[in-house]
Structures are given as structure tokens and as C-alpha cells.
């Protein structure tokens, strides 16, 4: 089954991002397809590569990147929500005249249409958030 996931909270403050990751991993183990993970609201903060958690803690951002790397999961950060919160890829940064970008590996920035498209195309959409 094709399952789409929406993540609405950033890492560490809320558990929702952890729950979403563990749900996605379990779905993959069971042979389902994760159609897309769409990051919205403060969820876009899951996509910053500048996160440096203490060594004895889980690395929420890297875990998502690994999911993209190992299973080809499409990780999409909402452009409008990301711009508000300072999450940028190199192209975005250039376009806005910023001298730095911070989008983590495996993530891409795109429009809200990607959420609605996922909702329409996937068999299920599960939201995680505050």
C-alpha cells in the first residue's frame, strides 16, 4: 500500500517527528511504500543539516536522510513554511541573496501542491504533529 506522511513539528521539542519516523520505518519493514513525507509548519526544521544533538541522543535529521538514502523515500519540505523559518537549499539561498544554505541530504524543497498531490495519489495519509 502507498502511504503518505505529513510531519508538522520540528525535532526534539515534540515527539511527533520521532513517531512519524518510527511509523515510516515499520511501514517499510512491512513491505509498504512510503509515497512521500511532507514537512509542514515547524516540521520543516527536520530538514536542517546544521542540527548537532548530544552524542548519546538520536539524530532525528540524519535518520530521515538515511531513510531517503536507503529506501528512496521522497522527503519534501514546504517552500513557504521553510522560507518563514530559514530552511534553504542552495538555489533558494541564491535567489534570496543569502550567503548560506542548510537543507539536509535527501530532502528537497517544493510547493504545498506536493502535499495535496500525495494525499490524492497515496492510499493513506497519516499526519503527525502538535
Partner 1 sequence: MLHIVNKSPFEKNSLETAVRLSQPDSAILLIEDAVYAASGDTSAVTMLKDVLRDRQVFALGPDLQARGVDVEKVPDGIEIIDYEGFVDLVVAHESTQSWL
Partner 2 sequence: MYEEDGAPGGIVKKIAYVNRRAPHGTIYALEGLEVVLIGAAFDQDVSMIFVDDGVYDLKRGQDTGVSGIKNFSPAYRALEMYDVEKLYAESESLQKRGLVVEDLIVPVEVLSSAEVAELLAGQDIVLNF
- Helix 60-71 crosses helix 16-29 at what angle (to 10 degrees)? 20
- With CB under 8 A as the contact rule, the residue among 51, 62, 105, 127 that binds partner 1 is 127
Count the residues in the chain. Answer: 130
108: cell is 528537497
108 binds partner 1 (CB under 8 A): no
Shortest spacing between CB 63 and partner 2, in angstroms: 25
From the list partner 2, partner 1, none, partner contacted by residue 97 (C-beta under 5 to 8 A by kind):
none
Q: Which of 48, 39, 42, 49 is nearest to 13 (CA)?
A: 42
CA nearest to 118, candidates 31, 10, 2: 2
What is the grid cell recorded at 54? Answer: 548530544
Of the candidates 36, 43, 28, 27, the one whose C-alpha atom is nearest the C-alpha of residue 122 is: 36
One of 73, 78, 79, 87 is an active-site residue; which one? 78
- Measure the N-to-C terminal CA separation of the chain; round to a whole number of Å: 26
**Of residues 4-23, those binding partner 1 (CB under 8 A):** 8, 15-16, 19, 22-23
CB of 25 to partner 1, least distance (A): 7
- Taking the complex as a whole, the smallest distance from the CB of residue 16 to partner 2 amounts, in Å, to 12
Based on the residue annotation, tell me whether 78 is a catalytic residue of this protein: yes
**For binding to partner 1 (CB under 8 A), which residues are involved?**
1, 3, 8, 15-16, 19, 22-23, 25-27, 29-30, 32, 124-130
Catalytic residue list = 78
Amino acid at each position: 500500500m502507498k502511504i503518505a506522511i505529513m510531519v508538522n513539528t520540528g525535532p526534539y521539542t515534540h515527539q511527533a517527528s520521532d513517531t512519524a519516523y518510527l511509523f515510516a520505518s515499520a511501514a517499510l519493514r512491512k513491505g509498504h511504500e512510503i509515497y512521500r513525507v511532507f514537512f509542514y509548519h515547524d516540521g520543516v526544521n527536520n530538514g536542517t543539516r546544521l542540527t548537532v544533538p548530544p552524542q548519546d541522543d538520536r539524530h532525528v535529521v540524519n535518520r530521515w536522510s538515511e531513510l531517503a538514502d536507503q529506501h528512496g523515500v521522497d522527503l519534501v519540505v514546504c517552500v513557504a513554511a521553510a522560507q518563514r523559518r530559514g530552511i534553504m537549499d542552495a538555489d533558494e539561498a541564491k535567489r534570496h541573496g543569502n550567503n548560506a544554505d542548510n537543507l539536509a541530504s535527501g530532502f528537497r524543497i517544493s510547493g504545498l501542491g506536493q502535499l495535496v498531490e500525495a494525499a490524492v495519489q497515496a492510499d493513506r495519509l497519516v499526519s503527525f504533529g502538535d
